[in-house]
């Protein structure tokens, strides 16, 4: 492994620390590696060392390159300085992907608290969005983030169908950043059809970092399951990015979106409610949906259309016991209908 320290903005004391693992040679099956960009917390007053190197090490052990961004804080925290710092960092990583043997399309941000706010901003409003985001007890909205930085934007309202997949974790009784921040964020992700995984641990203080004894006070009251977020997030990244294979990454096991509602064309992976907005699609689908409702034998008084509205079309077709060949025909028809997205 080699380490490189890069000054991105001397005046604002913005730096990028790069931990670059070996690739090729003895690692003959690994020509390139995915990466994580760590954004420590600290209330935009400082960048916490507890959420820097200690957070990077497990990802390095899992085979990921790791980068730590110490972004603009204190008198330099005025927005969009921190987001500009992220943009410069991710651009640097992607521009040097060949030199550093990085998969430029497999870079995740990992942010904590205020750094989680910045990671959220990167995921929903940056020009160079990450490919996945891991948000720990992130201050993404409301009075909490305004207490840290009066100019920092609310993240919830900016979530869109271009937002990358997200892994969200916190403790339920966090008394600094209420768990409602994370709840509101995953609700916004769900509403936009963005893939996510979330973990709400029963109890623990704010700022748990990796949750092990090397970063926690000996008498800290922390749910024993909370440190598992580290391994779970690495497993989730493997689901989203794929794992190391024979000279390349394996195919991802989990799609980046819950459905195809945000696509330029319709498909059987769109929801019924979305597809029925389009006249051409409605003409194709209404006979099939009626058959499906009849086959499902919903009870009296049940709003079958309402129940099925958020189902993917392929699942609706399952109610109708439709053969795959027939489903493929409809899928081909739907893929000719533009959505103007």
Q: Would you state the pLDDT for residue 321?
A: 80
Domains (range + CATH), the chain: 2-241 (3.40.50.1820), 272-334 (no CATH)
Tens-place pLDDT, residues 221-274: 999 999 999 999 999 999 999 999 999 999 999 999 999 998 899 999 999 999
What tokens appear for 90 in the block?
């991710």
Q: Would you state the pLDDT for residue 286?
A: 84
The rounded distance, in Å, linking the Cα atoms of 160 and 134 is 17
Number of continuous H segments (helices) and E segments (strands) in the chain: 12, 8
Low-confidence residues in the chain, pLDDT < 70:
292-302, 341
Radius of gyration of the chain (CA): 22
Q: Would you state the pLDDT for residue 268?
A: 94
What tokens appear for 143 in the block?
């009075």
Q: Would you state the pLDDT for residue 276?
A: 92
Stated pTM of the model: 0.92
338 HSE (CA, 13 A, CB side) = 2
Spatial contact of 115 and 62, defined as CB atoms under 8 Å apart: no
The rounded distance, in Å, linking the Cα atoms of 98 and 104 is 9
CA 66 to chain centre: 17
CB neighbourhood size of 135 (10 A): 32
CB neighbourhood size of 250 (10 A): 12
Q: Would you state the pLDDT for residue 194?
A: 96
Between the CA of residue 221 and those of 139, 172, 199, 211, 218, what are the distances in Å? Answer: 21, 13, 18, 11, 9
The rounded distance, in Å, linking the Cα atoms of 95 and 93 is 6
């Amino acid at each position: 492994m080699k380490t490189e320290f890069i000054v991105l903005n001397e005046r604002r004391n913005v730096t990028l620390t790069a931990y670059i693992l070996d690739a090729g040679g003895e690692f003959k099956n690994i020509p390139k590696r995915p990466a994580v960009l760590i954004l420590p917390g600290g209330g935009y007053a400082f960048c916490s060392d507890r959420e820097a190197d200690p957070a990077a090490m497990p990802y390095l052990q899992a085979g990921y390159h790791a980068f730590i961004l110490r972004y603009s804080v204190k008198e330099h925290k005025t927005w969009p300085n921190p987001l500009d710092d992220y943009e410069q960092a991710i651009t640097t990583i992607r521009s040097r992907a060949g030199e550093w043997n990085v998969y430029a399309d497999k870079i995740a941000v990992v942010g904590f608290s205020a750094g989680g706010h910045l990671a959220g901003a990167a995921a929903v409003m940056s020009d160079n969005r990450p490919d996945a985001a891991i948000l720990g007890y992130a201050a993404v909205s409301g009075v909490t983030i305004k207490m840290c930085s009066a100019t920092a934007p609310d993240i919830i309202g900016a979530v869109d169908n271009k937002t990358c997949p997200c892994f969200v974790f916190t403790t339920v009784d966090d008394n600094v950043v209420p768990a409602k921040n994370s709840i509101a964020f995953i609700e916004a992700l769900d509403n936009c059809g963005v893939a996510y995984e979330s973990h709400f641990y029963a109890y623990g203080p704010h700022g748990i970092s990796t949750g092990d004894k090397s970063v926690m006070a000996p008498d800290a009251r922390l749910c024993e399951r909370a440190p598992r977020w580290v391994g779970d997030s690495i497993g989730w990244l493997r689901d989203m990015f794929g794992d190391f294979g024979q000279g390349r990454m394996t195919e991802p096991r989990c799609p980046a979106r819950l459905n195809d509602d945000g696509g330029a064309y319709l498909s059987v992976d769109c929801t019924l409610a979305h597809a029925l907005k389009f006249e051409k699609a409605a003409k194709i689908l209404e006979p099939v949906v009626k058959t499906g409702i009849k086959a499902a034998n919903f009870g009296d008084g049940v709003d079958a259309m309402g129940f099925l509205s958020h189902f993917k079309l392929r699942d609706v077709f399952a109610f109708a016991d439709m053969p795959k060949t027939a489903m493929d025909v409809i899928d081909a028809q739907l893929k000719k209908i533009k959505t103007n997205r």
